């Protein structure tokens, strides 16, 4: 029987690339996103690879919508084997004191609370099943400090703590959870951020020893490895995929 993966933020970028890569490994996909068009595109891409796919529209900052996508996955497929807890936003690129409380709450709601809610409901299913693998999306800003992304950085540091602590509590119950920490990557979210802050793209590329941004496909390869049985003894880790960017800090 095919494995089942939930991928949040599946309508583009890292989520879409990972959904497709998992489908290539014979995994059925539940694509979760607020963007219905993008999510449906991902479903079509997965189905072309011969795997079953389901799109669920959800705002991850709302716990009732997170519970809904988990419940609908179990109702449709009967289980959850893998979870790529990926949905997130970058924020506006302003320095912290130039952000409103509403700006802060929006980033925290999606990036941190959304991730916490996802693990809360998905891990409940996995622990009852006695097995399951989660990959949370942190960031290079989750392992070092970076200016102009203070709130984003705080949420991604929180993702690191979530990953390590959920393993400390439930690793004994068959749960695996790891985090990835991508550096600047060629996704629509990063492109929009750099378009609004063009000087930051040049600074980012100069700060990466490989002198280029990462690609969603490269990140998808790592996530697929961490979720599948090839990485059964990797647990509670935060793995950087940033071309050496944070290694120089």
Active site residues: 152
Beta carbons within 8 Å of 147's beta carbon, 6+ residues apart: 95
- Provide CB contacts within 8 A for 124, sequence distance 6+: none
Task: Quote the CA–CA distance of 246 and 240 in Å, as a whole number.
Answer: 8
Local structure of 162: helix, strand or coil: helix
Are residues 159 and 112 in contact, defined by beta-carbon separation less than 8 angstroms? yes
How many Å apart are CA 224 and CA 133, to the nearest integer?
A: 11
CA 93 from centre of chain: 20
Q: How far, CA to CA in Å, does 17 sit from each of 43, 72, 192?
A: 12, 23, 18
- 115 C-beta neighbours (distance < 10 Å), count: 28
Give the helix, strand, coil percentages of the chain, each rounded to 5. 55, 15, 30
Work out the angle between the directed axes of helices 114-129 and 150-170 (0-180°, nearest 10): 20
Distance CA 64, CA 157 (A): 25
Cα 184 to chain centroid distance, Å, stands at: 14
């Amino acid at each position: 029987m095919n494995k089942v993966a939930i991928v949040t933020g599946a309508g583009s970028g890292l989520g879409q690339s990972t959904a497709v890569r998992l489908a290539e490994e014979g995994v059925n996909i539940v694509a979760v996103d607020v963007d219905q068009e993008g999510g449906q595109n991902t479903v079509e891409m997965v189905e072309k690879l011969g795997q079953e796919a389901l799109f669920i529209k959800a705002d991850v900052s709302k716990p009732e919508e997170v519970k809904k996508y988990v419940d609908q996955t179990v109702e449709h497929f009967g289980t959850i084997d893998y979870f790529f807890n990926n949905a997130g936003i970058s924020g506006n690129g302003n320095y912290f004191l130039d952000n409103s409380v509403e700006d802060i709450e929006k980033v925290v709601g999606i990036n941190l609370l959304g991730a916490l809610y996802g693990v809360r409901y998905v891990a409940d299913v996995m622990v009852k099943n006695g097995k399951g693998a989660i990959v949370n999306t942190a960031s290079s800003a989750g392992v070092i400090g970076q200016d102009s992304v203070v709130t984003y950085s705080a949420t991604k540091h929180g993702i690191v703590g979530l990953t390590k602590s959920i393993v400390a509590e439930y690793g004994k119950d068959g749960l695996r959870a790891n985090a990835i920490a991508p550096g600047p990557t060629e996704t629509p979210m990063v492109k929009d951020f750099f378009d609004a802050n063009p000087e930051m793209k040049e600074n980012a590329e100069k700060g990466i020893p490989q002198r280029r941004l990462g690609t969603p496909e490269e990140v998808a390869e790592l996530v697929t490895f961490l979720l599948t049985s090839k990485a059964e003894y990797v647990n509670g880790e935060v793995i950087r995929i940033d071309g050496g960017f944070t290694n120089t800090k």
